[in-house]
Structure 1
Amino acid sequence: MNKKALGKGVKEERKKLRLTQAELAQGICSQALLSHIEAGDYMSAADIFIGIYQKLGISELQANLKNYFPMSQIEKLSQKSEELCRQHQYAELRDFLLLDSTIDAISEEGLQAYYYYLGVSQAQLGQLNEAQENLRLALVDQKKLTIISRLSWMSLGVISAVNHQEKQVEEYIEAAFQDLEKTSYDENLNVLYYLRAVIYKKLEKNKLALMTLEKGIQFISEHNSHYMLANFYYLAALLVENDKSRAYFSKSQLFTELYKEKVFDKI
């Protein structure tokens, strides 16, 4: 959902409730900021939107589909692959990618995305050797460090963590985060911090995992995004105990409800 659509929706709901901008903004943000949001001029931080939605009584939002990685001139093929991946339907994704009709439709420019999606699906299904092979193919002849390159490095890092290969893990993390601060922001970059935290959890370095999640949440907020926050808070809840854990679970559930983000609970 883009800024204009979000702003229009907020304005319409506010008017239905006969609230002034000042009344809706009270305790959440300034009236001026709300005015910019309604005009579609500003995409605010997720916590501000949550406050606005709760005050308006909005419990359900349209899922916010991110840009999928094109791997074919056939747009629907790329979109289906991305949707299956985001919905964690990895068996269906793998089988779809191995269809002759899918393979025949892959463009040369789309090979990297193809091998990445195939590698991720195989890794999630426990086919680690096949996954490593395809993720490495996604990195072949790549002169430029793309988002898919970074995600492929991190996915290889997760597999290495499962195999307790700590030296390789650090090399993969370093490759994935190289010059990240100089890279144009894309919401798929949020995943890098999540995967890094998963790696540390698998290596039983929970303190490092939690620190990584906190940095990732800050990274997401700085870019006025909400993508992956439900998963960040869910993973954080697994790393702490008692009240802190319950607080993180509560935040994860809230973001899941608001943005319909599917939480990966098999970590």
Structure 2
Amino acid sequence: MLKKIGLLVKERRQDLHMSQVELAKGICTQTTISTLENNGCFSKWELIPEIIKRLDIDVKEIENKSLYRYGERNLRQVELCLLTHKFSKALKLLSKIKKENLDSKDLLARFYCDLGFSQLFMDGSLDDVTTSFTTAIYKHTSKNNQMVISWSFLGMAIAYQRLRLQKRSLEYFKLAISKLNISLRNIHKKEDLWVNTQLALAVVVFGFEISEHQLVQKECDLVMNILRCNYSYYCLKDFYYVKGISLKAENKEEAAEKLFMQSNGLCCLRSSNNVQKLLKINQYDVVKQ
């Protein structure tokens, strides 16, 4: 247990760019912190509550230490910013992460994927954007992390669409769907469902923007079925709506209207304007109901 606490303290302190002296101030000596972090002969257990309080460590984190490797917390904050469209803040947080200290391929892949999206929506060089996504996909991502690969392929699709290279964009869009579907089939936790749902929503909205309506409708059906099977109504309203505007774009007014009614019927369960936000990001004029 002591070794686990010491390692967690060290990682969190490094995440916060805090020195041992700063952490020790008013609690103990720098030597005491060093002893704790390096699994030395530590006996001052009464200091542990103060140390973890200063580092804002929850007791549950100690029980599940594997979640807190260097950069993990920062990347989660970055990804939350990206999902809530706070791209400037995401880029700022990324600049504080020392990628040379990221100790796994998956963390590095997430870093470059997050960097690609931050650059993409902060009007960075599209060459830099595609380089970031390519690095995430081909240099660092493990085969097991289909979700990061899918996000990266989606980023490539958006970048090539902005470069007006429609064929390349469509190619990467289809790859994003393929990897997304693999990820959807391997959902084991509610947290996985939430993140995959966010990815799926971004994918189908982009598919609508490039008029790939058959793919959009098929993917919406798949995701809605998964959400219903998991008794989760998170974003279900949004998928009804995206499928509806996709059908309307094909002049299938009656079918679209039914979906709009179903979408509106879920307002009491899930009030959201995620679709409009995603469409606005790419400056697309949504089809009016």
Normalising by the residue count of structure 2, what TM-score does the alignment of the two structures yield?
0.54
SS at match of 2:232: coil
The aligned length equals: 194
Matched, 1:203 2:203: no
Mapping of 1:68-217 within 5 angstroms? 72-98=69-95, 101-103=96-98, 106-109=101-104, 110-127=107-124, 128-141=126-139, 142-146=141-145, 147-162=147-162, 163-174=164-175, 177-178=178-179, 180=182, 183-185=185-187, 186-187=192-193, 188-217=195-224
Equivalent position SS for 1:140: helix
- Tell me by how many angstroms 1:93 deviates: 0.7
**Fraction of identical pairs, as percent:** 15
Alpha-carbon distance in structure 2 between the residues aligned to 1:72 and 1:173: 33
For 1:167 and 1:263, how far apart are their aligned partners in 2? 24
Aligned-partner Cα distance in 1 for 2:222–2:114: 26
Q: TM-score, normalised by structure 1?
A: 0.58
Query: After superposition, what is the alpha-carbon deviation per residue over 1:129-177, rounded to whole angstroms, capped at 9, x for unaligned?
Result: 3322211111133341412112212222233344342255235523652
1:265 maps to 2:267: no
Offset at residue 213 of structure 1 (A): 1.8
Task: Find the counterpart in structure 2 of residue 32 from structure 1.
Answer: none
Question: What displacement does 1:89 show?
Answer: 0.8
Paired residues of 1:90 and 1:124 also in contact (CA < 8 A) = yes
Give the number of the structure with larger relative contact order, counting CA–CA contacts within 8 Å between residues 6 or more apart: 1
- Quick one: structure 1 residues 164 and 213, their matched pair in 2 at CA, closer, same or farther if it must change by over 3 Å? farther
Shift of 1:71: 8.8
- Tell me if the contact between 1:122 and 1:130 (Cα under 8 Å) persists in the aligned partners: yes
What amino acid is the match of 1:140? Answer: Y
Q: By how many angstroms is 1:88 displaced?
A: 1.5
Structure 2 residue aligned with 1:221, among 228, 245, 250?
228
Q: Within 2, Cα distance between the matches of 1:160 and 1:171?
A: 9
Q: CA–CA distance in 2 between the matches of 1:182 and 1:78?
A: 22
Measured against aligned partners, the alpha-carbon deviations of 1:160-219 in whole angstroms (never above 9, x if no partner) come to 344342255235523652571895213233345334323332222335423332222123
Seen in structure 2, the aligned counterparts of structure 1 residues 175 and 238 have a Cα distance that, compared at 3 Å, is closer
Equivalents in 2 of 1:182, 1:209: separation in Å? Answer: 16
Aligned partner of 2:261 in structure 1 is 247
CA RMSD of aligned residues (A): 3.4
Other structure's SS at 1:139 match: helix
